[in-house]
Structure 1
């Protein structure tokens, strides 16, 4: 005998379905409309099916400077991911030992998660402009010709923009690594030291392989959060736009589905990064399993 579904189950299922539709509906809509024919517009119904707007996108038709913004965001995202991993691991190792001011440092590091993004962006831009003024004043007061003739500003994608992105990605990386090291069994390190391993050898051959899957997750967080960041970038990026800012500006000027094609491409890149991270995790797990199996055979 099968019992019928209760009214509560039906209502909650409907609410969940509406939530999923609300969450992914816009992305699916953009994906579909990006494959319209040459006479397609920005709304339904579709006019034909083709790759016409993708062709226009890669030829640079109707989308000024999008290629430069795309590469800029890609380079920035990769750099942010790398720095997030390195700094998070170093901080995780440091916080394994108690030291004076650890609590204050921890709360200071994660405080940017609760601060309004636009305020963080404005603050970073203001700091860099103060430094700009100080450098220009130095050049004028001491007659440094290079500063007077060539220096303009330190505000840019890989200076103030990089700092703005790290204020968003680092707290997530730190929290992940703190959780990882809180569960880490120090007996592995003790065994390595007993066998004569140096601190670097212990980290490289023992700690790093164990935490490798978590590092992939931290890198994924760093890249994806940087890839689509707008608010923290808007005031601190300088004269050059990242891809999200370029897209935001195009929403009022581009009136063809080429903007949907660009949205589809950027979404595909995000999915490719996620799938790549999953593939790396699977390879790491298989490598571990293979090494464990080989070690077991060696003992037999």
Structure 2
């Protein structure tokens, strides 16, 4: 927005300053953690820094580490990937089903998203008690997965419903009129068009599971996931290795987000190229 003289109005600069302050408020404390994670071997948890090194990153994987960072990271990523896949499949199936009204649809919808307003710790406690009554030992890949799905699925459903509401069914009807089967229409027309939305659902499923703490406390069993390992380190570790852990986990999160955004950009470019060729 510019004035008649070509200059931006005062409101633009005020809003820009507010946005910059907001970003600094969000990421300023994290920036301090990222910097302190590169402390020298004799460095502590505060400034000033005593040298610069990768010592504390090595400590995460070396023999002197506290806890099981490598194992907890592997479990967190595997659990997040499975949660992402299940959330994506169920959300797509539900989105297709809810395009047609059926008896009990409203009740099923509200039941599906009810876990969003329930305290995560109580959800985990309930799942843990059910497994104990069944005589099954809680494990991260079984009860932990079930607990995470109570968090990821409602978000996946809400996003997928919004995606399907914006879908123009004329494309689907045209494919059927041209002789395509229902399955061919779904795989060759509907899903490719909805691909950016599917990536968004998958990204939500991964990130929500990857950093879930409350629902994991009582459901993952004896082996921690990464959020639980971080919580344990905050009470027992007094070295910059905790900051190094924060830097590594943040890098993993941004890597996943970058891959998802890159996939969306590639899809959009391919659509633009095909439209130009047509």
Normalised-by-shorter TM-score class: over 0.9
Partner of residue 200, structure 1: 183
* Per-residue CA distance 1:82-140 (angstroms, 9 max, x = gap): 111111000000000110000000011111111111111111111111111xxxxxxxx
Alpha-carbon distance between aligned partners in 2 of 1:204 and 1:48, rounded to the nearest angstrom: 56
The equivalent of 1:215 in structure 2 is: 198
CA deviation string 1:177-220 (max 9, x = no partner): 10111121111111111111111100000001000111111111
Q: What residue in structure 1 maps to residue 241 of structure 2?
A: 258
Distance 1:117 1:266 in 2: 22
Given the alignment of the two structures, is residue 36 of structure 1 paired with residue 39 of structure 2, yes or no?
Answer: yes
**Structure 1's 22 and 3: CA in aligned 2 closer, same or farther, altered over 3 A?**
closer
Q: 1:3 to 1:107 in 2, by over 3 A?
A: closer
Larger Rg: 1
Counterpart among 71, 93, 96 of residue 96 in structure 2: 93
Q: Does 1:169 align with 2:152?
A: yes
The CA deviation at 1:269 is 0.2
Q: 1:3 to 1:83 in 2, by over 3 A?
A: closer
Matching residue within 280, 284, 288 for 2:271: 288
Q: Does 1:182 align with 2:182?
A: no
- Equivalent-residue separation in structure 2 for 1:33 and 1:242 (angstroms): 24
Alignment of 1:41-120 (within 5 A): 41-120=44-123
Asked whether the 8 Å contact 2:83–2:209 carries over to 1, the reply is yes
What TM-score do you get using the length of structure 1 for normalisation? 0.86
Counterpart of 2:46 in 1: which secondary structure?
Answer: coil
Structure 2 stretches of 5 or more lacking a match?
Answer: none
1:100–1:16 Cα change, 3 Å: same
Which residue in 2 is equivalent to 1:22? 25
